[in-house]
Amino acid sequence: MLTADTKAEFPDCLFSNLDFSNGAVAAVSGGSDSTALLLLLKDHLDRTAPAARLLAVTVDHGLRPDSAAEARLVARFCAERGIAHRILTWSGDKPTSGLPAAAREARYNLLAAAADAEGIKLILTGHTADDQAETVLMRQARDDDGRGLAGMAPATLHNWRTWIVRPLLGTRRAALREVLVHRSVGWIEDPTNVDPRFERPRVRAALAQGDGERRIMEALARAGEAAGEREDVGRRAAALIDAFASRPVAGLIRLDREFAAQEDGQAATYALRILLATVGGMPFLADEARCATLLSQLRSAPLCATLSRTVVDARRTGIFVRRENRNLPAPAPVVENGLWDNRCRITLNDRPGDLVIAPLGAAAARQASSSEDIPPSLLHAALATEPSLWCGGKRLDFAGGGAGRQPVSIVAVVTPFARFLPSFDLDPAAAVAVLVGAPPLPAPPFHGHDGGRGWAKA
């Protein structure tokens, strides 16, 4: 844990394992944490990588009358130090409930767009150890199933392309403020941070009293233990997926019968949760208790069950998993970078024209060649739910295959991790990506590509 006494070592200790060859975007609100992040990062790059691009981005959420003026103050602060800066505004209607979550989603979208526009794949945020403790305590109060108690990951992959890194997770806010005071640098106090209408300010206020320091240290220790456990079960789940799962045809996953008989029920249940969510196009993992029960039933007898929009059909020849044939998307025009049924990402290779995307359907699916190893009914049911392109009422391809360059690329996604993939979960996400034919994970932004595990403990 870093303290104010080690402020001279801040830059090397915090950033030395990060790869800045492609530049970095720093999220800067003007508060103490992000201001310290920016200054320390600038120091580090000036000394170790002066050619690296650094872009500071301030997101104006438009939720307070002073937010625009505060963003301009950050712009002036950056200009005085020769740091490129951009202000991005969250426009449009704001939700009446779930505002913090919606603001966070909008902020990451805007930051990622700014990074993408500059060809940068790395975003740094100023989350601290204090933020981590608050996160763990909030999740604990919601009876989290254990995964969430790992708190915020040291790195998170956004939209399968941009890394969001939190280098200050091992640093206390007080230490950062001492650095700023030492440099005679002020910061903006956001009144939202003490607004009791929101959960985090309430938790923060409680931690400022009585035994708050003890609770913070306990929460941080709990986060470290939970993170290690989460990574471990993820590695074991990935090994099971590699060993026992295959994809006979698009839209159909086959698990060997031995999968259900594994002694490591925790890893098998976790693997099943990810597979069901991915096949069903669900952004959240399938319910743990229901998956554990399903896994137990799969060990003893053939069955057919539905969970997370996914049909699990256990037969003598294997356990088959496919998207259920209901609540599928209606035919719709192709949209660039759209998610179809939360299972496939769309990329336009040519102008879309009047292209329409729709489920293949049962009639067309029956035209696909059968496999000796897969019952025709299973193969056709799986293919029927796969995406198909149409133009002027004519089908251009079908989910079972097709030759030549198509005007649209349709690639699978690992749905529960497609939006945000914490570094805790890299192993199972990578295993499922290989299984379903999703693009490979981009390399983590750490020297040695260790997923930030070693760096997070620095």
Helix (H) or strand (E) run with residue 86 in it: strand 84-89
Q: Give all strands of the β-sheet with 344-348 in edge-to-edge order.
A: 339-340, 344-348, 408-412
- The class of domain 4-209 in CATH terms is alpha beta
Count other C-beta atoms under 10 Å from residue 139's C-beta: 20
Cα separation, 410 vs 338, in Å, equals 10
For the chain, the C-alpha Rg in angstroms (whole number) is 24
**435: how many CB neighbours lie within 10 A of its CB?**
18
> Under 8 Å CB-to-CB from 20, ≥6 apart: which residues?
45, 49, 52, 122
Bridge partners (DSSP) listed for residue 319: 255, 314
What does the alpha-carbon distance between residue 356 and residue 339 come to, in Å, rounded to a whole number?
Answer: 14
Pairwise CA distance, residues 384 & 363, whole Å = 8
For 182, the token pair is 């030492």
User: Which backbone phi and psi does 122 adopt, to 5 degrees?
Assistant: -135, 125
Q: What is the rounded distance in angstroms from the CA atom of residue 71 to the CA atom of residue 48?
A: 29
User: For the chain, how many residues are written?
Assistant: 458
Strands 54-60 and 84-89: parallel
The pTM assigned to this predicted structure is: 0.91
190 vs 194: CA distance, rounded Å = 8
pLDDT digit string (tens) for the chain, length 458 residues:
333 344 445 656 789 899 999 999 999 999 999 999 999 999 999 999 999 999 999 999 988 888 999 999 999 999 999 999 999 999 888 888 888 889 899 999 999 999 999 999 999 999 999 999 999 999 988 865 678 999 999 999 999 999 999 999 999 999 999 999 999 999 998 777 777 888 888 998 899 888 999 999 999 999 999 999 999 999 999 999 999 999 999 999 999 999 999 999 999 999 999 999 999 999 999 999 999 999 999 988 789 999 999 999 999 889 999 999 999 999 998 888 889 999 999 888 766 668 889 999 998 888 887 766 788 889 999 999 999 988 877 887 644 444 455 677 889 999 999 999 999 999 999 999 999 999 999 988 887 544 444 444 43
408: nearest Cα among 387, 385, 435, 384: 387
Sheet holding 355-359, edge to edge: 332-333, 355-359, 387-391, 394-395
Tell me the pairing of strands 310-315 and 318-323. antiparallel
Contact 446, 18 (CB under 8 A): yes
**What is the rounded CA–CA span in Å between residue 358 and residue 339?**
12
Ordered by start, the domain boundaries in the chain are 4-209, 332-412
* Inter-axis angle of helices 265-280 and 212-244, nearest 10: 80
Answer yes or no: are the C-beta atoms of 123 and 162 closer than 8 Å.
yes
Q: Is 298 exposed, middle or buried (0-12, 13-18, 19+ CB in 10 A)?
A: buried
- Say if CB 232 and CB 423 are below 8 A apart: no
